[in-house]
Amino acid sequence: MSQLLVGQTLNGVIVGTLYGIIALGVTLTFGITGIVNFALGEFMMIGAYVTWYLFDIVGLPYPVAILPAVAIAAGCGFVADQLLFRFTRNNLINGLLVSIGLISIVEAGALLLWTTTPKDMGYVLSGAFRMGAVSVPRMKIVVFALLAAVMFLTYASLSRTWIGRAAYAFSQNPEAAMLMGVKTEILQSGVVVYSTALAGFGGALYASLYSLEPAMGGLYILKGVEAAILGGIGSLIGSLAGGVILGVTEAIGSIYLPSAFRDAYGLVFVVAILLYQPSGLFGTER
Type of residue numbered 86: R
| Contact status: 15 vs another protein (CB under 8 A) | yes
Stretch that binds another protein, among 28-36, 94-102, 166-174, 256-264 (CB under 8 A): 256-264
Pattern of binders to another protein over 109-138, x per CB under 8 A? ------xxxx-x--x--xxx-x----xxx-
Instruction: Select 1 or 275, whichever has its Cβ closest to another protein.
Output: 1
Please report how close the Cβ of residue 78 comes to another protein at its closest, in angstroms.
Answer: 29
| Contact status: 104 vs another protein (CB under 8 A) | no
Pattern of binders to another protein over 208-247, x per CB under 8 A? -xxx-x-xx--x----------------------------
3-state secondary structure of 129: strand
Residues 93-126 as b/e (b if ≥16 CB within 10 A, e otherwise) read: eebeebbeebbeebbeebeeebeeeebebeebee
Instruction: Select 154 or 208, whichever has its Cβ closest to another protein.
Output: 208
Torsion sign (Cα): 8, 10, 11, 16: positive
Please report how close the Cβ of residue 22 comes to another protein at its closest, in angstroms.
Answer: 14
- Pick left, alpha or beta for residue 196 (phi over 0 → left; psi -120 to 50 → alpha; otherwise beta): alpha
Instruction: Select 81 or 213, whichever has its Cβ closest to another protein.
Output: 213
Q: Is-contact 170 177, C-beta < 8 A? A: yes
Helix (H) or strand (E) holding 248: helix 236-256
Instruction: Select 84 or 205, whichever has its Cβ closest to another protein.
Output: 205
| Contact status: 63 vs another protein (CB under 8 A) | no
Instruction: Select 169 or 215, whichever has its Cβ closest to another protein.
Output: 215
Instruction: Select 169 or 263, whichever has its Cβ closest to another protein.
Output: 263
Helix (H) or strand (E) holding 130: strand 128-131
Closest CA to 205 of 274, 79, 121, 136: 121
Residue among 81, 107, 226, 250 that touches another protein (CB under 8 A): 250
Q: Give every CB contact of residue 246 below 8 A, 6+ residues apart in sequence.
A: 16, 19, 223, 226, 227, 230, 266, 269, 270
| Contact status: 42 vs another protein (CB under 8 A) | no
| Contact status: 108 vs another protein (CB under 8 A) | no
Between the alpha carbon of residue 251 and those of residues 6, 100, 108, 219, 285, the distances in Å are 11, 29, 32, 16, 30
Please report how close the Cβ of residue 254 comes to another protein at its closest, in angstroms.
Answer: 4
Stretch that binds another protein, among 86-94, 189-197, 248-256, 270-278 (CB under 8 A): 248-256
Tell how far CA 37 is from the center of its chain.
11
| Contact status: 64 vs another protein (CB under 8 A) | no
- Pick left, alpha or beta for residue 204 (phi over 0 → left; psi -120 to 50 → alpha; otherwise beta): alpha
Q: Give every CB contact of residue 3 below 8 A, 6+ residues apart in sequence.
A: 132, 133, 134
Which residues are at the interface with another protein (CB under 8 A)? 1, 4, 7-8, 11-12, 15, 115-118, 120, 123, 126-128, 130, 135-137, 209-211, 213, 215-216, 219, 250-252, 254-255, 258-260, 262-263
